[in-house]
Amino acid sequence: MGSSASQLSKELLSEYQELTFLTKQEILLAHCRFKELLPKESRNTMDYRVPMEKILTMPELKSNPFRQRICYVFSTSEAKDGSLSFEDFLDFLSVFSDSATPEIKSHYAFRIFDFDDDGTLDRNDLVKLVNCLTGDAPETRLSQEEMNQLIGNILEESDIDKDGTVNLSEFQHVISRSPDFVSSFKIVL
Amino acid sequence: MAFKNKNDSGYSLKQLPCCSQLKYKLIIVFRQIWYTFLSFLHSLQLWHVALKKLSGRFGTGVLSYFLFLKMLLFFNVFLLFINIVFLVIPQSLCSQGSVHQFQGLELLTGAGSFTNTVMYYGYYSNSTLNENTKSSENRSLCIPYNMPLAYFFTIGISYFITCIILMYSMSRSFGESYRVDNPHGDLAMKVFCSWDFKVIKKASVKLQMENTSTQLKELLSELSRPSCSKSLCHRLMKMAVHTLAWTISLGSTFGCALAVHYFSAYMSKNLSKNVQQTTQIKEASLLALPVVVSAFNLLMPCLYNAVAWMEQYELPSMATYIAIFRNLLLKLFILGILCYHWLGTTVSGHNILKPLCWETFVGQELYRFLLMDFIFTILDTIFGEFVWRIFSQRVLGRQRKPVFDIARNVLELIYGQTLAWLGVLFSPLIPAMQIIKLVLLFYIKKTSLMMNCQSPSKPWRASQMMTIFITLLCFPSFLGSAVVVTYTIWSIRPSNVCGPFRSLNTIFESGKIWVRKLETENANLAWFTWIHKYMVENPFFLFFIAGILLIIIYFYAQFLDGQRRIISLLHEQIDNEGKDKKFLIGQLQDIYARKRPVFGKNGKDN
């Protein structure tokens, strides 16, 4: 699985192309950018896991309010510390690429917004989501009543089986109503 | 991504029977070819880095303007390629050119030494080029080439292919952006879907957060405020303001159209009268009409913006649609008057000294209009964005930079493309001019945006807007130019002294003559002429096809209606099932509660 060469071999490249939604150029570009994040001594091994702090220095993620959630969701490390290997990195780029299907994108969007990783979006997840969207500045933060009203409206609109949480199917149903989701849920290197 | 290790794969290829092996190998080969093709398309991506920078700073809305520009660029490259291969190259290889003195004014007016070149209709010959291939040695590479037929079919087929591509992109974009109406509102949608992950600059991210917060607060206050029934007086005043606004905008549109009509009549009279003026001044005065039209196109939208500000629509999207509609009306009227002027008066000769080769004259006029449009767009960018930014920051002391008006800029692009499509019949090289203009426009607009503007603060529903813009490109723009060109081909008499259709009554006759020649020369192709006589020339067949298409559209509309009803029924069903679940759980809890004291007693007894 891991190769010790610093260049991607042809079979590995075509295998990645089959397994992800990325084109050859995108995979090669991802490889270059990933190598830049590696420390000098481990440049030749591809099994290295880049810690989350280094990933968050990338310009595409630096100012994104969901950057930590993205690292946690795509990381496959046992320590759950948000570190990404090269394949996790490709996974992340594949989901956020041009050719990923809306189902994949909405599935991962749900996982990113699920702050407590319990498989549903309950009130606390929604509160954290709205705070991420509006930022920390005091003039943009929503007041307590506005927040309650907003969460109540969201649950009323999207919670179809009225259990107080938004599950994956309800989330995907809301997403399917917005034609702009696919074009805004994109990150390009 | 489950990444299977090669060693513990369940199947190995040798275990499968022979024909399945072949099938799988074929599938793998096809997939490799497909991936190679996708990589090739990806590497062709024009301006990838520039577009990424723009979307990183301004978001998806502004990006859609540049994607629209790229789409128009590809249309023009296609048109130019076809024209060059089938018209320009044969004509320039097989005939001699005369060299005129080049003066600087030609670049602006398109006349002068450019007149008798491959640029315009008048240069093309009306006979079969090089029917005798044995004539001389340096013509040995020319084969017999029927120029009028080539001209007619090239223009016809390029229009047809453009039509098909437009229809396809319009239906695809419509399919992506059309959503069945939701009665419950879209607050959840806004919270879940509105974050634009493409934005990466810190200042833009902060701006996006501010915008999201503002929109959410506005939506919440709208929901919490009871819909106040406005008093009669208030409603009457609103209606009066709207009526006044519409009167002003429609009146000014008609005024501009009339002004263009009288001015063009005056200019053509002036041209025919002042014979003693030097040709240079005459040619420079040809620029007056394009300047006037471009000035109207530039200044009137400012008036419409002022009127819309006076009206104060409740929904910002309504204001955008109304602004687009008014701008579109203005451009349609002006283009309509110009087409009437060129095809009507120029051809039938209301002037005493009508241009001898009217098609070349119309081609030159369109060249001048395109050029003036480009120059005025540059002026608008410099004054509207650069100077305005300096003014608003230094003099007015505002913190925010001016906002890029996406709708107005896209309408400018559509207007330019309409002119190019109108001009293809009269000047086959006009797409080249449009290509140069679009490329320069990309870089000018990008530089100006980076220096002077900030991302829009109102929400911009990008995919719905793209659908509207592609529909506008297809319906008034392409359809209008196709109608004008068809009318020219069908019923207007080509000029007698120049062009490939000199001796004919209409351009369409060249096709008919060819079919009749085929009939007499080649008896095997009788079926082809039969198809032509009974299907293309017979209107009944076209009505039949149109009827079938209308029936299909009706069926689809009914199908959609049924789907909408099914969706609402399913919503109700899920709701009821949720209630059922709650009821049953409540019953279960009751039963447990009733049974527990019994168990407790039993347990105690035991």
Confidence of residue B496 (pLDDT cuts 50, 70, 90): confident
- With an 8 Å Cβ cutoff, are A175 and B192 in contact? yes
- Joined tokens for residue B446: 């990008």
A3 close to A46: Cβ distance less than 8 angstroms: yes
Find which of B126-140, B406-420, B509-523 is predicted with most confidence, using mean pLDDT: B406-420
pLDDT in the model for residue B2: 39
Does the structure show a pLDDT above 50 at B123? yes
pLDDT in the model for residue B223: 77
Does the structure show a pLDDT above 60 at B3? no
Find which of B120-124, B248-252, B516-520 is predicted with most confidence, using mean pLDDT: B248-252
Neighboring chain A residues of B200 at a CB cutoff of 8 Å: 59-60, 62-64
Does the structure show a pLDDT above 70 at B478? yes
Distance between terminal CA atoms of chain A?
24
Distance between terminal CA atoms of chain B?
57
Confidence of residue B227 (pLDDT cuts 50, 70, 90): low
Look at B130-144, B272-286, B308-322 and tell me which has the smallest mean pLDDT. Answer: B130-144
Q: What is the mean pLDDT of residues B468-490?
A: 89
Does the structure show a pLDDT above 80 at B41? no
Neighboring chain B residues of A161 at a CB cutoff of 8 Å: 574-575, 577-578, 581
- With an 8 Å Cβ cutoff, are B39 and A25 in contact? yes
d(CA A144, CA B530): 78
Look at A140-144, B133-137, B210-214 and tell me which has the smallest mean pLDDT. Answer: B133-137
Neighboring chain B residues of A177 at a CB cutoff of 8 Å: 179, 182, 186, 189
Task: Give B302 to chain A, closest Cα distance, Å.
Answer: 30
- Joined tokens for residue B551: 């029936």
Ranges of H-type helices in chain A: 10-19, 24-37, 52-55, 59-62, 67-74, 86-95, 102-113, 123-134, 144-158, 168-176, 181-184
pLDDT in the model for residue B232: 83
pLDDT in the model for residue B188: 86
Task: Give B182 to chain A, closest Cα distance, Å.
Answer: 8
d(CA A173, CA B133): 69
Chain centroid to CA B330: 17
Task: Give B447 to chain A, closest Cα distance, Å.
Answer: 21
Looking at every residue in chain B, the average pLDDT score rounds to 80
pLDDT in the model for residue B16: 63
Q: What is the mean pLDDT of residues B8-33?
A: 73
Closest of B324, B410, B454 to residue B69, by C-alpha: B410
Confidence of residue B137 (pLDDT cuts 50, 70, 90): very low
Q: Of the candidates B193, B197, B574, which has its C-beta nearest A64's C-beta?
A: B197
d(CA B247, CA B249): 6
Neighboring chain B residues of A19 at a CB cutoff of 8 Å: 1, 3
Closest of B590, B407, B390, B468 to residue B173, by C-alpha: B468
Q: Tens place of pLDDT for every residue, chain A, 189 residues?
A: 444 446 778 888 888 988 899 888 889 889 888 888 888 777 766 678 888 898 999 988 999 999 999 999 999 888 888 889 999 999 999 999 988 999 999 999 999 999 999 999 999 999 999 999 988 888 888 888 889 999 998 998 888 777 889 999 989 988 888 888 888 898 888
Residue B210: closest CA among chain A residues belongs to which residue? A140
Q: Which residue has the higher pLDDT, A100 or B351?
A: A100
Q: Which residue has the higher pLDDT, B350 or B415?
A: B415
pLDDT digits (tens, 9 = 90+) for B395-451: 777 777 778 888 889 999 999 999 999 999 888 889 999 999 999 999 999 998 888
Task: Give A143 to chain B, closest Cα distance, Å.
Answer: 10
Residue B215: closest CA among chain A residues belongs to which residue? A134
Q: Of the candidates A65, A161, A176, which has its C-beta nearest B578's C-beta?
A: A161
pLDDT in the model for residue B202: 87
Task: Give A20 to chain B, closest Cα distance, Å.
Answer: 8
pLDDT in the model for residue B1: 45
Q: Which residue has the higher pLDDT, B397 or B51?
A: B51
Look at A175-179, B213-217, B311-315, B347-351 and tell me which has the smallest mean pLDDT. Answer: B347-351
pLDDT in the model for residue B282: 72
Q: Which residue has the higher pLDDT, A80 or B8?
A: A80
Look at A91-100, B3-12, B228-237, B275-284 and tell me which has the smallest mean pLDDT. Answer: B3-12
pLDDT in the model for residue B139: 46
A82: left (phi over 0), alpha (psi -120 to 50) or beta: left
- With an 8 Å Cβ cutoff, are A133 and B191 in contact? yes
pLDDT in the model for residue B183: 56
Neighboring chain B residues of A17 at a CB cutoff of 8 Å: 35
pLDDT in the model for residue B191: 87
pLDDT in the model for residue B345: 65
Q: Mutate which of A16, A134, A144, A171 to disrupt the B interface (most B C-beta within 10 Å)?
A: A134
- Joined tokens for residue B298: 């530039």
SS3 assignment, position B44: coil
- Joined tokens for residue B139: 């013509």
Q: Cβ-count burial of B307 within 10 angstroms (0-12 exposed, 13-18 middle, 19+ buried)?
A: buried
Confidence of residue B350 (pLDDT cuts 50, 70, 90): very low
Residue B572: closest CA among chain A residues belongs to which residue? A160
How many CB atoms neighbour CB A142 within 10 A? 20
pLDDT in the model for residue B212: 85
d(CA B577, CA B594): 26
Q: How many residues does chain A have?
A: 189
d(CA B207, CA B85): 50
Closest of B577, B184, B193 to residue A156, by C-alpha: B184
ipTM of this predicted structure: 0.90
A50 close to A37: Cβ distance less than 8 angstroms: yes
Confidence of residue B20 (pLDDT cuts 50, 70, 90): confident
Does the structure show a pLDDT above 50 at B133? no
pLDDT in the model for residue B351: 44
- With an 8 Å Cβ cutoff, are A174 and B201 in contact? no
Taking CB atoms within 8 Å and a gap of at least 24, the contacts of A100-104 are A100/A21, A102/A175, A102/A176, A102/A181, A102/A182, A103/A172, A104/A21
Report CA Rg, chain A: 19
Confidence of residue B330 (pLDDT cuts 50, 70, 90): very high
pLDDT in the model for residue A129: 92
- With an 8 Å Cβ cutoff, are A186 and B198 in contact? yes
State whether the Cα torsion B520-B521-B526-B530 is positive or negative.
Answer: negative
pLDDT in the model for residue B343: 81
Look at B337-351, B540-554, B585-599 and tell me which has the smallest mean pLDDT. Answer: B337-351
pLDDT in the model for residue B182: 59
Q: Mutate which of B66, B191, B215, B455 to disrupt the A interface (most A C-beta within 10 Å)?
A: B191
Does the structure show a pLDDT above 90 at B72? yes
Please calculate the CA angle B283-B285-B289 and round it to the nearest 5 degrees.
120
Chain centroid to CA A46: 22
Q: Of the candidates A17, A26, A174, which has its C-beta nearest B192's C-beta?
A: A174
The pair phi, psi for residue B17, each rounded to 5°, is -65, 165
SS3 assignment, position B217: helix
- With an 8 Å Cβ cutoff, are A25 and B38 in contact? no
Taking CB atoms within 8 Å and a gap of at least 24, the contacts of A163-170 are A163/B578, A164/A122, A164/A123, A165/A120, A165/A121, A165/A122, A166/A120, A166/A121, A166/A126, A167/A119, A167/A120, A167/A121, A168/A107, A168/A110, A168/A119
Closest of B338, B336, B311, B331 to residue B322, by C-alpha: B311
Task: Give A5 to chain B, closest Cα distance, Å.
Answer: 18
Q: Which residues on adjacent β-strands are paired with residue B403?
A: B454
State whether the Cα torsion B526-B531-B532-B533 is positive or negative.
Answer: positive
How many CB atoms neighbour CB B606 within 10 A? 5
pLDDT in the model for residue A124: 92
Q: Of the candidates B184, B200, B578, which has its C-beta nearest A157's C-beta?
A: B184
Does the structure show a pLDDT above 50 at B160? yes
Confidence of residue B588 (pLDDT cuts 50, 70, 90): very high
Does the structure show a pLDDT above 90 at B9? no
- Please report how the helices B60-83 and B147-177 are oriented relative to each other, as an axis angle in degrees rounded to 10: 160
Per DSSP, A39 falls in state -
d(CA B26, CA B281): 70
Task: Give A56 to chain B, closest Cα distance, Å.
Answer: 12
- With an 8 Å Cβ cutoff, are A63 and B201 in contact? yes
B150 close to B87: Cβ distance less than 8 angstroms: yes
